[in-house]
């Protein structure tokens, strides 16, 4: 490692069971009880679960029907995105009192670069503690945080002492921390990839680190190169205050499975209208239309088409979605349809990474 590159102090703040916690805060009778946001009805899918519900195995993306089997005392509450957005704005206002380098990932989590902060505090750990305390005192919710030298390690660390805790991984601790980490804890490595890694004898960060870049690229494609660097503590992505939207989508889950394409077209018309509305509101257009299909057996399929020009008009979006619908015969009845537009006109071509930029160096400093 060289000692002449800039160092960064990154905090990843993640609200604890955000949607469920907001519901419990607004309705004190729900505090301490197992609740699920969304998931009501025979076809509902859970958006979030309180920690009390998680003890029973209830989690997001699970069907309400299964959740109630796992936790018969489960209480379902409706989603309220207007309220979540209101609370999220208050939390972000606190972030901005410490730094302008705030990169929201969603309503309930964000990266903060506090290398140079408005409080003049040299300790990122103390800043994280102060931010978490302020969120609790001023908003009424708990948050967890991860603090380290880059976004990847900070995000992994924020999950380490949840809920209502934080974890600092100092520069000199990064490599040992990553080597000891279960491969399932690596942000960006999903269940399918983890299973593939298990089959190849990769169970921990140390196992991953023992593989060459060529081996990882051969077995995991483009992601293999990323795995090679992140397990070595190398992740050069900066905190971007204005994240560029990469796609825009809308989808619908149906109360009854659809087997007729005529009914599917009717649903697609409404979905395309919603996508067009969101595009208009965001003032963007895109070239790639993707049709998402979830069948009654929960298998998922996507079909995409890239046009030679940017589109934002409902009629063109719908026509392309229809074409994708008829592209292949349905293998089963359908429970969900979605349309997304990507390859947006807001995207910028990434600058090629030079050899020098592939090496990230972090000096020892007060965390």
Q: 10-64: per-residue pLDDT in tens?
A: 999 999 999 999 999 999 999 999 999 988 766 778 989 999 999 999 998 888 8
Token pair 């929960």 is at which residue? 298
Q: What is the band of 351 on the pLDDT scale with cuts at 50, 70, 90? A: very low
Q: Taking all residues of the chain, what is their mean pLDDT, rounded to a whole number?
A: 89
Q: Which residues have a Cβ under 8 Å from the Cβ of 86 and sit 6 or more positions away?
A: none
pTM of this prediction? Answer: 0.72
> Please, are residues 255 and 41 in contact by the beta-carbon 8 Å criterion?
yes
Residue 244 is predicted with a pLDDT of 67
Residue 348 is predicted with a pLDDT of 56
Residue 219 is predicted with a pLDDT of 94
Residue 310 belongs to what H/E stretch?
A: strand 300-311
Mean pLDDT of 196-206: 96
Tell me how crowded residue 24 is: count the other CB atoms within 10 A of its CB. 22
Residues annotated as catalytic are 109
The answer to whether residue 359 scores a pLDDT higher than 60 is: no
SS3 173: helix
Mean pLDDT of 221-250: 88
Long-range pairs for 195-199: beta carbons < 8 A, 24 or more residues apart: 196/220
Residue 42 is predicted with a pLDDT of 62
Mean pLDDT of 338-351: 77
The answer to whether residue 361 scores a pLDDT higher than 80 is: no
> Please, are residues 93 and 78 in contact by the beta-carbon 8 Å criterion?
no
Give, to the nearest 10 degrees, the angle between helix 124-138 and helix 81-95: 140
Q: What is the band of 124 on the pLDDT scale with cuts at 50, 70, 90? A: very high
């Amino acid at each position: 490692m060289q000692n002449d590159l800039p160092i960064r102090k990154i905090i990843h703040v993640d609200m604890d069971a955000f949607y469920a916690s907001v519901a419990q805060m607004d309705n004190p009778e729900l505090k301490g009880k197992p609740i699920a946001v969304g998931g009501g009805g025979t076809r509902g899918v859970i958006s979030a679960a309180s920690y009390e519900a998680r003890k029973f195995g209830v989690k997001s993306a699970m069907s309400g029907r299964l959740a109630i089997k796992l936790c018969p005392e489960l209480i379902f509450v409706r989603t309220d995105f207007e309220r979540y957005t209101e609370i999220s704005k208050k939390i972000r206002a606190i972030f901005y009192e410490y730094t302008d380098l705030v990169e929201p990932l969603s309503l309930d989590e964000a990266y903060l670069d506090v290398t140079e902060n408005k409080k003049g505090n040299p300790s990122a750990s103390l800043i994280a503690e102060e931010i978490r305390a302020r969120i609790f005192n001023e908003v009424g919710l708990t948050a967890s945080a991860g603090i380290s030298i880059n976004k990847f390690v900070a995000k992994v660390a924020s999950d380490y002492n949840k809920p209502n805790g934080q974890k600092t991984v100092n520069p000199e601790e990064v490599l040992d921390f990553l080597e000891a980490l279960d491969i399932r804890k690596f942000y960006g490595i999903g269940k399918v990839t983890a299973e593939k890694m298990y089959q190849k004898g990769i169970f921990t960060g140390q196992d991953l680190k023992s593989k060459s870049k060529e081996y990882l690229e051969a077995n995991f494609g483009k992601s293999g190169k990323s795995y090679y660097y992140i397990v070595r503590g190398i992740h050069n992505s900066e905190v971007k205050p204005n994240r560029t939207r990469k796609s825009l989508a809308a989808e619908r889950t149906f109360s009854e499975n659809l087997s007729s394409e005529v009914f599917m077209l009717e649903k697609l018309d409404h979905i395309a209208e919603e996508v067009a509305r969101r595009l208009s509101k965001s003032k963007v257009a895109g070239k790639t239309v993707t049709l998402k299909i979830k069948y009654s057996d929960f298998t998922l399929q996507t079909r995409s088409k890239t046009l030679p020009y940017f589109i934002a008009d409902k009629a063109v979006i719908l026509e392309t979605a229809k074409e994708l619908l008829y592209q292949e015969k349905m293998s089963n009845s359908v429970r969900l349809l979605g349309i997304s537009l990507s390859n947006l006109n807001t995207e910028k071509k990434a600058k090629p990474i030079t050899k020098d930029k592939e090496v990230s160096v972090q000096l020892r400093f007060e965390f």
